[in-house]
């Protein structure tokens, strides 16, 4: 329902406000967690709920999803080590999204997992530690190569995935650089359904490639 969607979206936007400072530290930190950092992380769902309540948030579903977003079906989550039957379905959905997001986010101490690998790991755990319908829906909606990820296509180009395609393995892409890493002056649409431009593999984030003409890639009009 619409109210549930609003509660879930609100929870997704506020679930980590209880660990805002430590989250910023960890983004740049190469050392293992300190005891204090571990404690803050373990208790941040409760702290996030406290902050929201102090701000007069009274939406019980919103608060519950924030509190439970790190609980998992295996009973090893936190802060309460809840069982599968105790966890609200929307809390589990946010947990799944958070797991995927964490895999895709780089850290000083590790590289990000490539999107197709992260989604494959989720799909392989369907029915075990992750709801089967949620896992299937995630892959269906994002595809194997989610928008915003980089791929190499058969002609050697580096391409940026921009939209879902006809199926999970044939997204819409724009070539942004040649196989030698030379950026194109203008992004070039490629049809990944064709033999010439089919996707060979996913790539790490191409930070070294300067992307121009973002408005053409994403299809918006500059003011």
Please tell me the predicted confidence (pLDDT) of residue 194: 94
| Residue that is written with structure tokens 């941040």 in the block | 44
Check pLDDT > 90 for residue 31.
Answer: no
Please tell me the predicted confidence (pLDDT) of residue 109: 66
Over residues 158-172, the pLDDT tens digits come to 999 999 888 888 999
Check pLDDT > 70 for residue 222.
Answer: no
Q: Among candidates 157, 138, 163, which has minimal Cα distance to 201?
A: 157
Please tell me the predicted confidence (pLDDT) of residue 206: 61
Note whether 119 and 100 are within 8 A (CB): yes
Please tell me the predicted confidence (pLDDT) of residue 169: 86
Please tell me the predicted confidence (pLDDT) of residue 207: 58
Over residues 172-197, the pLDDT tens digits come to 999 999 988 888 888 899 999 999 99
How far apart, in whole angstroms, are the C-alpha atoms of residue 47 and residue 66?
10
Over residues 88-144, the pLDDT tens digits come to 999 999 999 998 888 877 676 677 788 778 888 887 877 678 898 988 888 888 888
Note whether 158 and 206 are within 8 A (CB): yes
Strand order in the sheet with 183-191: 183-191, 172-177, 158-163, 150-153, 199-203
Please tell me the predicted confidence (pLDDT) of residue 208: 57
The pTM (predicted TM-score) of the whole model is 0.79
HSE-CB for 9 with a 13 A CA cutoff: 6
| Mean of the per-residue pLDDT values of the chain | 87
């Amino acid at each position: 329902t619409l109210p549930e969607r609003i509660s879930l979206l609100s929870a997704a936007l506020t679930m980590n406000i209880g660990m805002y400072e430590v989250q910023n530290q960890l983004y740049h930190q190469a050392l293992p967690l300190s005891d204090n950092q571990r404690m803050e992380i373990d208790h941040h769902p409760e702290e996030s709920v406290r902050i929201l309540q102090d701000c007069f948030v009274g939406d019980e579903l919103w608060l519950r999803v924030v509190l439970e977003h790190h609980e998992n079906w295996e009973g090893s989550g936190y802060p309460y080590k809840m069982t599968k039957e105790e966890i609200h379905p929307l809390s589990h959905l946010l947990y799944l999204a958070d797991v995927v997001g964490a895999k895709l986010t780089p850290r000083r101490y590790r590289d990000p997992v490539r999107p197709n690998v992260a989604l494959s790991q989720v799909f392989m755990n369907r029915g075990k530690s992750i709801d089967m319908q949620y896992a299937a829906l995630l892959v269906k909606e994002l595809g194997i190569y989610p928008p915003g990820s980089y791929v190499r296509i058969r002609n050697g180009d580096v391409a940026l995935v921009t939209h879902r395609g006809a199926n999970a393995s044939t997204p819409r892409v724009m070539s942004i650089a040649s196989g030698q890493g030379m950026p194109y002056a203008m992004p070039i649409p490629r049809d990944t359904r064709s033999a010439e431009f089919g996707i060979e593999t996913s790539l790490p984030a191409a930070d070294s490639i300067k992307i121009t003409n973002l408005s053409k890639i994403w299809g918006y009009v500059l003011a």
